[in-house]
Amino acid sequence: MSIHYFANPARFTRLAGRIQPWAGGLTAVLLLIGLYMALVEAPADYQQGDTVRIMFVHVPAAWMAMFCYTFLAVASAVALIWRHPLADLAAKASAPIGASFTFLALVTGSIWGKPMWGTWWVWDARLTSVLILFFLYLGYMALWEAIEDGQKAGKAAAVLALVGAVNVPIIKFSVDWWNTLHQPASVLRMDGPAIHSSMLWPLLIMALAFKAYFVTLLLARMRMELNLRRIRAMRLAERTS
Amino acid sequence: MGNMEQFLSMGGYAGFIWPAFGIVLIVMAFLWIASMRSWRKSEQALASLRQHRRQRGDIEE
Amino acid sequence: MTRKRRRLYIVGGFMLIFATAAALVLAAFEENIVFFYSPTELARMMEQQPIPPERRLRIGGLVVEDSVGRDMDGVTITFRVTDTVEVVPVKFRGLLPDLFREGQGIVAEGSMAGDGTFIATEVLAKHDENYMPKEVAEALKEAGQWQGDHE
């Protein structure tokens, strides 16, 4: 089973140590390019004017919110089914990143909605399900903190993650299944992107920047969790010897 | 400069656009710094714990 | 079977059961979680029984061309909303959103008056998923290929 190749913590640490700086550098470069394109180069929209620029942070944040949760849920399933030693660490490490992006998606969406829709918030299916996603992240992180035993905490958190996973397709298809104020998808749709290339490129660059950011922080947080696990094990061994 | 004014005012929507980008950068920077700090602290703690054990003569780990 | 396979089936089965439960709950609450009704859905509802004026609801649709005007009191704005099948007249006192214009999608919250007019207390603009620069929109309009401001 190839995922067990990375089960060796030492091997993971070595690989992570090599990749992390590159991912960090890539994040910085892509963010600079993306922000320049979003704020300076991209044209104003025929309908929304300059507020369309908020899309260049709102949409990548929303994509990352869902991607991180999918990652977290898959890692949780791997932890529960294959008992992969690093899987629950990966899930735990990704949670704060996903929660932050969900928060940003909600806040930037609200800021965008006020001038364009005329309101800061509505309880339509899209916005409500993303808010639920935010609470799922918080609940997931709380479980890890609340339960003393690391193994038990990981199991409980993994179960919550899988229960909440049903929310991800609901978020994606909410604009199709129900009447919503939030508009349908502009990029990932059957007929191809409904965004002009002059706006699609800044969006994709920013999305890549956020991805690289996720990889960088995921590796750093996983290494931290691994270190904490080792420290705990050493202290435990000291006490019992 | 006319262009700079135009850029900053964002067609009149400056009050929405700049706070939106601002909070994105602030939150992402905060998470980055916090994560890197926690990680480095854990590296130091692990290194000093290993050092401490070596000094005490514990060979195993 | 191996313990791993058993765990796989337990997790998979659990997910399936939960997803089914969620789908059933959502379907059951469909009536209560409607965010807005289209003019056709509204018409169908009114056919079955008249809608009491105390009931607050939302309608959504496109603003009919050349339908925007002012009431005799000079303050109330009137317009008609359609989903290309049915039409609902709307009356509204208040601030319209920036994007409000003829042909634009809107969602209005309010209640039905006895005469079939919708008295709105809030009007929100609903924009579509298309994004393009002004020049491209102009070019499309000139070439006669403009799809319209609606989705």
- Please give the tally of structural domains in chain B: 1
Task: Answer yes or no: is pLDDT of A235 > 80.
Answer: yes
pLDDT in tens, A170-212: 999 999 889 899 999 888 888 888 899 999 999 999 999 999 9
Domain extent at residue A150: 17-240
Q: Give the pLDDT of residue C85.
A: 93
Phi/psi of residue C83, nearest 5 degrees: -115, 30
- Regarding whether C46 and C14 lie in a shared domain, the answer is no
Query: Considering the domain boundaries, does residue B17 fall inside one?
Result: no
C-beta separation of C38 from C61 below 8 A? yes
Selecting from A83, A170, A198 the residue whose C-beta is nearest the C-beta of C133 gives: A198
Query: Considering the domain boundaries, does residue C27 fall inside one?
Result: yes
* pLDDT level of residue C150 (50, 70, 90 thresholds): very low
Residue window 209-238, chain A: list those with CB within 8 Å of chain B: 213, 216-217, 220-221, 223-224, 227-228, 230-231, 234-235
- Regarding whether C49 and C26 lie in a shared domain, the answer is no
Question: Encoding tokens for residue A153?
Answer: 């905490």
Query: Considering the domain boundaries, does residue A157 fall inside one?
Result: yes
Q: Give the pLDDT of residue C148.
A: 55
For A7, A223, A227, B47, the CA distances from A11, given in Å and listed in that order, are 8, 12, 14, 18
Query: Considering the domain boundaries, does residue C83 fall inside one?
Result: yes
- The helix/strand/coil state of C91 is strand
C120: enclosing H helix or E strand: strand C118-126
pTM for the predicted model, two decimal places: 0.91
Mean pLDDT across chain A: 93
- The helix/strand/coil state of B12 is helix
Query: Considering the domain boundaries, does residue C75 fall inside one?
Result: yes
Question: Testing the interface with C: which of A166, A179, A188, A189 to mutate, by most C Cβ within 10 A?
Answer: A179
Half-sphere exposure of B48 (CA within 13 A, CB side): 7
- Regarding whether C70 and C9 lie in a shared domain, the answer is no
- Regarding whether C28 and C85 lie in a shared domain, the answer is no
Query: Considering the domain boundaries, does residue B6 fall inside one?
Result: no
Centre a 10 Å sphere on the Cβ of residue C148 and count the other Cβ atoms it contains: 9
- Check residues C147 and A25 and name the one with the higher pLDDT: A25
pLDDT in tens, C39-83: 999 999 988 988 888 999 999 999 999 899 998 888 999 999 999
- Regarding whether C60 and C23 lie in a shared domain, the answer is no
Domain extent at residue B51: 23-55
Query: Considering the domain boundaries, does residue B35 fall inside one?
Result: yes
Beta-bridge mates of residue C61: C106
pLDDT in tens, A13-49: 999 999 999 999 999 999 999 999 999 999 999 999 9
Q: Give the pLDDT of residue C147.
A: 62
Query: Of A3-17, A107-121, A163-177, C45-59, which range is least confident?
Result: A3-17
Q: Give the pLDDT of residue A4.
A: 63
- Please give the tally of structural domains in chain C: 2
Query: Considering the domain boundaries, does residue B41 fall inside one?
Result: yes
Centre a 10 Å sphere on the Cβ of residue C110 and count the other Cβ atoms it contains: 20
Task: Answer yes or no: is pLDDT of C151 > 50.
Answer: no
Query: Considering the domain boundaries, does residue B1 fall inside one?
Result: no
If you average pLDDT over residues C132-150, what whole number do you get?
Answer: 78
Strands C87-92 and C118-126: parallel
Query: Considering the domain boundaries, does residue B32 fall inside one?
Result: yes
Residue (of B32, B33, B27, B36) closest to A100 by Cα position: B27
Q: Give the pLDDT of residue A1.
A: 45
Query: Considering the domain boundaries, does residue C137 fall inside one?
Result: no
Residue by residue, what is the 3-state secondary structure of B25-51?
Answer: HHHHHHHHHHHHHHHHHHHHHHHHHHH
Centre a 10 Å sphere on the Cβ of residue C67 and count the other Cβ atoms it contains: 15
Domain extent at residue C102: 39-126
Determine the residue type at B16: F
- Regarding whether C45 and C28 lie in a shared domain, the answer is no
- Please give the tally of structural domains in chain A: 1
- Regarding whether C103 and C55 lie in a shared domain, the answer is yes
What percent of chain C has pLDDT above 70?
95
If you average pLDDT over residues C92-118, what whole number do you get?
Answer: 92
CA distance C42 to chain A (A): 13
Query: Considering the domain boundaries, does residue C28 fall inside one?
Result: yes
| DSSP code of residue A6 | G
Give the gyration radius of chain C's Cα atoms. 22
**Phi-psi category of C103—alpha, beta or left, where left has phi over 0 and alpha has psi -120 to 50?**
left
The complex's ipTM works out to 0.93
pLDDT in tens, B2-61: 678 888 888 889 999 999 999 999 999 999 999 999 999 999 999 999 898 888 876 554
C-beta separation of C145 from C85 below 8 A? no
Report how far residue C2's alpha carbon sits from residue C5's, in angstroms, rounded to the nearest whole number: 5
Query: Considering the domain boundaries, does residue A2 fall inside one?
Result: no
Check CB contact under 8 Å for B13 and A230.
no
Check CB contact under 8 Å for C127 and A125.
no
- Regarding whether C62 and C47 lie in a shared domain, the answer is yes
